[in-house]
Structure 1
Amino acid sequence: MGVLTALAILAGLIVVHEAGHFFAATWQGIRVSSFSIGFGPVLLERQRRGVQFALRAIPLGGFVAFPDDDDESDIPKDDPNLLSNRPLHQRALVIAAGVMANFLLAWLVLVAQGYVVGIPAGFSAAPGVLVAAVQPNQAAALAGLKPGDRIISLAGQPIGGGQEAVAELVKTIQGAPSRTLPLVAERQGQKVKLKLKPSDLGGLGRIGAQLQPNGTEAFRRPKGPLEPIRQADHDFALLTKRTIAGFGTLATHFGETAGQVSGPVKIVEMGATLAKQGGGSLFLFAALISINLAVLNSLPLPLLDGGQFVLLLLEGVRGRPIPARFQMAFMQSGFVLLVGLSVVLIVKDTSQLPLVQQLLGH
């Protein structure tokens, strides 16, 4: 049930993104030929007002297509309602609308969280530190730590609770590069004894795991009808800032952070886990993924909205359209890059699923 919930959220976010492009075009009277979720062969389709609405076989995103892209279209090339014949600012709005829709959805989800779940009222800490994620082939993974484990003892010292416990644990790990530390973790109600050997990174110990405090987030009822909106403004700004910073760190320290990049399989697994927790977790998951989709699509890469925007900017600077040959090469290179990256991430994430690891004998 948790997996289905996570898949439904991801599908909804994709639909919202593509709907942004679609409604920005139709609102301006621009012709649209199709609205598709997924890529590849059509599984289900419906024609309405000259637009094909389709569900396709490969669930790696979606797209809105225009007659301009179809060489067999019977619409005259000089039709004023073709996207390519519209002014630069109208085309820019169509391209930017997907990102705007995801940002707006994230804010609305955070507002809904305030009204439905309540306003965050502090964290109720419990002993231990949770392992939220583990990087493959790093010290934590080699020691046998798994996502969901609760570390209760390290180097013979019991672990307290709260953010202070996380800071103390990180301090101990950083101070023990290349040293073997006995560790006790709780996994599904059973204690597991492990040996953790932090790697040496510039004189500091590193284990390749994401740690977080153990406990539950408490919520209270809003003090007034506007408090959820103010809280959503604060949380939206904070999540967006951290997401942009994360992409910046990935670009500037790619070698160190590439292992933390997750694909759709890992995202669904994380969403399924949060669905079981209930409360405000799913609201936060939906908002965070929606913001990540918006920021990702803003990057100036081929096939992404940011790449399309770069072509528009170049056209504005040149004062005339970019040659079709250059645009085609730009898009084709992006297709190969993004599909290749998606396949790699899916294979990597799938290989780390517990059931797959058991089948492989890990």
Structure 2
Amino acid sequence: MFLTLIAFAVALGILITFHELGHYWVARICGVRVLRFSIGFGRVLLRRTDRHGTEWAVSAIPLGGYVKMQDDPPPDASRAEAGRAFNNQSVWRRMAIVVAGPLFNLVLAVVFYAALDMAGTRMPAPILSQPEASSPAGRAGFMAGDRILAIDGHAVASWNDARWRLLDVLSSGGQAVLDVRPTAGGVQRRTLVLKTGNRLDPSQGDPLAWAGLRLEQPPPVVREVGPGSPGQAAGLQVGDTITAVGDLTGTLDASALVAYIQQHAGVSLPMTVMRGGVPISLHVVPRPEEIDGRKVGRIGIMLGGDVPMVTVRYGVLDSVWHGARRTGETAWMSLRMMGRMAVGDVSWRNLSGPVTMADYAGQSARIGLAAYVAYLALISISLGVLNLLPIPLLDGGHLLYYLLEVVRGRPVPERWMQIGQRTGLGLLVCLMGLALFNDFARLFT
């Protein structure tokens, strides 16, 4: 829990502070007087005033930051001082200052992605397991061991890349053309047809699995044998690869094996393992245990397996290009998903709030630095896109007012702005309430 809170606080601190740095930097270029740049909120702990009159502060609540500008000049201000007030700037300068914050978030995501590409990231290889015959992937002719090479002409380097491109197809319906390399070699082209969109409802499980597209799972390997457990009594040893149990044969994976054992509590099951390249026959009797009011079988071992991995690495220029392209594609897909949620094509359960964000921050931090940096990039894009939405109270809402000012030739009436502010506040409160509801629904289900 402590790591989760720290990881979340650091993420918000970095991303929101960088967002505000965009506003500050462009405001200074435009000659606007900045009164304070604060890292954090609440009571000021440390402060220093620079030669430009800006107070740099560190505040008590380390969840982001803010920039305070001189909105209107004081009554006794000189002409030069009045010219430094934000509200006295041209509409184009005000637009530049407002849009700078979200753009800085997008630029930061490019930097994060480029850094990951230059350092090299280990990701699962895009190799598929056997799909069900009735699934869209099964009907398209996909087979176990197919390695995805490209989707709709875009090269695929990892399972992460494949998931990202396929989720867009799943949410909108239609089809995707995949180039794959079967285990026999060569390259084949297969068309995945999805006549209706998948609503990407998190409560319904992995949407790619619904389409029959699953990452190839390694054979289950015994990582640990509990003392006095049924597994130890049967003769299982660390390093054994389980190839068959009962009537469950063929290509096994850990999840299928665990489910089968749980369903056969107290039943003597024949089991075949590979040990040092030699098949060995054993018998194991799962011990009955009561879990959530039902009886399941346990044999007291820990299973694992090594998923085939690839290292994705690019040079400096290619890394920047890939980072910019990935940021643009992610931002565009985020906007499309929001639109599909608005019309009901995508489930509103995908809307996440601070609880889920904090949970993901902690999980990614536990996985490693690369996963945490990728998380920061994704949240930075989300923050940039969200702030560009034309909702009053957000940066996009201010941009909307300024665009109306350009069209009308004069500022938006104060009454319009007040109505917009109340409407925007109500909309944001509703969205936050729904996001929190989804967060706690995930926690308790």
| Structure 1 position 99, deviation (Å) | 1.3
Which of the numbers 110, 115, 126 marks the counterpart of 1:112? 115
* Aligned counterpart for 2:321 among listed residues 230, 240, 261: 230
Match of 1:171 in 2: none
Q: Describe the superposition over 1:172-205 as per-residue Cα deviations: whole angstroms up to 9, x where unpaired.
A: xxxxxxxxxxxx9959x965969xxxxxxxxxxx
- Whether contact under 8 Å (1:110, 1:232) holds in the other structure is yes
1:235-257 superposed Cα distances (whole Å, 9 cap, x missing partner)? 23332232222122122227x52
User: What does residue range 62-101 of structure 1 map to in structure 2 within 5 Å?
Assistant: 62-68=65-71, 76=77, 79-101=82-104
Alignment of 1:172-251 (within 5 A): 186=255, 215=307, 217-222=309-314, 224-251=315-342
Aligned length: 292
Q: Mark the structure with the bigger radius of gyration.
A: 2
Structure 2 residue 374 is the aligned partner of structure 1 residue 284 = yes
Q: Using a 3 Å threshold, how does the CA distance of structure 1 residues 334 and 193 change in structure 2: closer, same or farther?
A: farther
Distance in 2, Cα, partners of 1:282 & 1:162: 22
8 Å contact 1:25–1:94 — kept in the other structure? yes
Amino acid at match of 1:327: M
Quick check: 274-283 or 258-267, which moved more? 274-283
Q: Do the aligned residues in 1 keep the contact of 2:109 with 2:323 (CA within 8 Å)?
A: no
- 1:312 offset after TM fit, Å? 0.4
Which residue in 2 is equivalent to 1:175?
A: none
Distance 1:327 1:278, change over 3 A: same
Per-residue CA distance 1:109-149 (angstroms, 9 max, x = gap): 111001223486844668999xxxx968x566xxxxxx9xx
1:311-350 mapped onto 2 (5 Å cutoff): 311-339=401-429, 341-342=431-432, 345-346=435-436, 348-350=438-440
Aligned partners of 1:216, 1:282: CA distance in 2, in Å?
Answer: 22
| 1:264 and 2:264 aligned | no
Q: Distance in 2 between matches of 1:69 and 1:331?
A: 20
Partner of 1:176: none
TM-score by length of 2: 0.55
Sort the Cα spacing of 1:233 and 1:318 in 2 relative to 1 into closer, same or farther, 3 A. closer
Contact 1:119 1:228 in 2 (8 A): no
Give the RMSD, CA atoms, in angstroms.
Answer: 4.1
**Take 2:308 and 2:427, find their aligned partners in 1: how far apart are those partners?**
40
CA distance in 1, matches of 2:313, 2:13: 30
One-letter identity of the residue aligned with 2:59: L
SS in 1 for 2:310: strand
- Measured at CA, do residues 96 and 81 of structure 1 come closer, stay the same or move farther in structure 2, by a change above 3 Å? same
Q: 1:55 aligns with which of 59, 62, 77?
A: 59
Q: Deviations over 1:42-98 (max 9, x none)?
A: 354525244343536594x6542322269xx56649601111111121111101101
CA distance in 1 between partners of 2:436 and 2:307 (Å):
31
Q: Contact between 2:72 and 2:85, CA under 8 Å: does it hold in 1?
A: no
Name the counterpart of 1:207: none
- Separation in 2 of the partners of 1:108 and 1:297? 20
The Cα shift of 1:294 comes to 1.1
Distance 1:69 1:215 in 2: 60
Taking a change above 3 Å as real, the CA distance of residues 29 and 44 of structure 1, as seen in their structure-2 partners, is: same
Q: 2:72 touches 2:87 (CA, 8 Å); kept in 1?
A: no
Letter in 1 for 2:310: A
- SS for the counterpart of 2:37 is strand
In structure 2, relative to structure 1, the CA distance for the partners of 1:246 and 1:216 (3 Å cut) is: farther
> Identity over the aligned pairs, expressed in percent?
27
Match of 1:5 in 2: 7
| Unaligned segments of structure 1, at least 5 residues | 141-146, 165-183, 195-213
SS of 2:43's equivalent? strand
Note the C-alpha offset of 1:282: 2.3
Q: 1:121·1:220 contact (CA, 8 Å) conserved in 2?
A: no
Structure with higher helix content = 1
Which residue, out of 4, 13, 16, partners 1:14? 16
Quick check: 1:67–1:75 contact (8 Å CA) kept in 2? no
State the Cα distance separating 1:335 from its structure 2 match: 3.3
**Deviation readout 1:15-48 (Å, 9 max, x if unpaired):** 1111100111012220122334566x43545252
Q: Cα distance, 1:296 vs. partner? A: 0.9
Contact 1:31 1:81 in 2 (8 A): yes
The CA distance in 2 between the partners of 1:3 and 1:114, in whole Å, is 28
Q: Cα–Cα, structure 1 residues 68 and 232, in superposed 2: closer, same or farther, change >3 Å?
A: closer
In 1, Cα distance between equivalents of 2:111 and 2:213: 36
Structure 1 residue 217, shift from structure 2 partner: 4.9
